[in-house]
Amino acid sequence: MATLEITGLRKTFGGVVALAGVDMTIRSEEILGVIGPNGSGKTTLFNTVCGVYRPTTGTIHWNGVDIAGMPAYAIGRLGLGRTFQQAMSFPALTVRENVQIAIEHGSRREDGAGPQWSSPEELLEFVDLEAFADEVASVMPFGNLRRLGVAVALGGHPAQLLLDEPAAGLNEGESVQLIHLLRRAHELGVGICIIDHHVGLMAELCSRLVVLHFGNKIADGPVDDVLSDPKVIEVYLGGEE
């Protein structure tokens, strides 16, 4: 099982402290949710872990390997996959070619979890997009584009996936479809760590929650404990509870 160990992770942009020394562990056998108000540092956390930003201080160990400051592609090759807050794809290419490129690069790795996808069709069937294989990605409905983003990340043969608001902009039905997809990916052995604002969705999907607030971790534990934590209710859930 793969483990991502983050200790004392701090990231500042000029005078702005995005992450103020976060400690957390992500294990691939669980589905972990990261919640927090806007600007609490969730996306910065993912971007720093995945090599988009270099951490100001702190360490990030992926299966014992120090990946802090490594380039994004090298981290991707180590089996740490991700999706982006904006639904990303290779827009002018067909859906098939989108996942084919990911598979061609993912299939070189031996240490990823889940199956080695033998063909783009197999992966497209898994994410329920086989009917769109010949469509150009940019003309697909938004919900499909979100699933294509997950497919591209899965094609990269990751042991752990970091998903940045994969359900943002989706309707009820599409969200359910996505949760179902992530569960099936997890059953294949891929670790799932997900950022989302939809507390109901997170409560249903995740086994553990981490709450960030102004770059600090204020709660970490089983979903029910975290959601009933007075501190969390005060800063995040507010009137909802």
Partner 1 sequence: MADKRPPMGPRTNSAWPSPAALILTTVVVIGVFAFPWLNPGYRALSFAVTTGVTAIVLYGMAIPFGQAGIMSLGYAGLMGFGAYTAAILSRDFGLNMWEAMPFSALVAALCAGLFGLPSLRISGHHFAITTYVMCELLRIALINGGKFTGAASGLDLPPIGTVLGVKLDKLSNAYMLVAGFMFISMLAAYCVANSRYGRTLRSVRENEQLSRSIGVNTNMYKVGAFMLSGLFAGVGGDLQAYNFRHISPDLYGGATSLYFALMVMLGGPRTAFGPLAGAIIVTFLPEFMRIDPVDSRIAYGLALIAVVMLIPGGVIAAVGRGYQWVMRTLRGPHAGSADPHSAQV
Interface positions with partner 1 (CB under 8 A): 50, 52, 71-74, 76-77, 81-82, 84, 88-94, 96-97, 100-102, 104-106, 108-109, 120, 134-136, 139, 152-153, 155-156
Q: CA-CA distance, 211 to 218, in Å (whole number)?
A: 6
Q: Which DSSP letter does residue 94 get?
A: B
Minimal distance in Å, beta carbon 91 to partner 1?
6
Minimum Å gap between C-beta 84 and partner 1 is 7
Structure tokens given for 155: 């094609």
Q: Which two tokens stand for residue 8?
A: 């004392």
Question: Closest CB to partner 1 among 72 and 237?
Answer: 72
Q: CB 234 → partner 1: shortest distance, Å?
A: 35
Distance between CA atoms of residues 46 and 72, nearest Å: 11
- Which residue lies nearer to partner 1 by CB, 101 or 176? 101
**Sequential DSSP letters for 136-194:** BGGGS-HHHHHHHHHHHHHHT--SEEEEESTTTT--HHHHHHHHHHHHHHHHTT-EEEE
**Min separation Cβ 15 and partner 1, Å:** 26
Structure tokens at 216: 């600090």
- Give the nearer residue to partner 1 in terms of CB position, either 93 or 233: 93
> Which residue, 105 or 198, has its beta carbon nearer to partner 1?
105
Provide the minimum distance between the beta carbon of 100 and partner 1 in the complex, in angstroms, as a whole number.
7
**Which positions ≥6 away from 32 have C-beta within 8 Å?**
26, 192, 193, 194, 206, 207, 208, 209, 210
**What is the C-alpha separation between 128 and 148, in angstroms, rounded?**
9
Nearer to partner 1, 98 or 175 (CB): 98
Smaller CB distance to partner 1: residue 153 or 182? Answer: 153
**Whole-number Cα distances in Å, 155 to 25, 96, 107, 111, 167:** 24, 11, 8, 14, 19
Residue 51 vs 215, nearer CB to partner 1: 51
Q: To the nearest whole angstrom, how small is the minimum distance from the Cβ of residue 140 to partner 1?
A: 11
Residue 187 backbone phi and psi in degrees, to 5: -65, -25
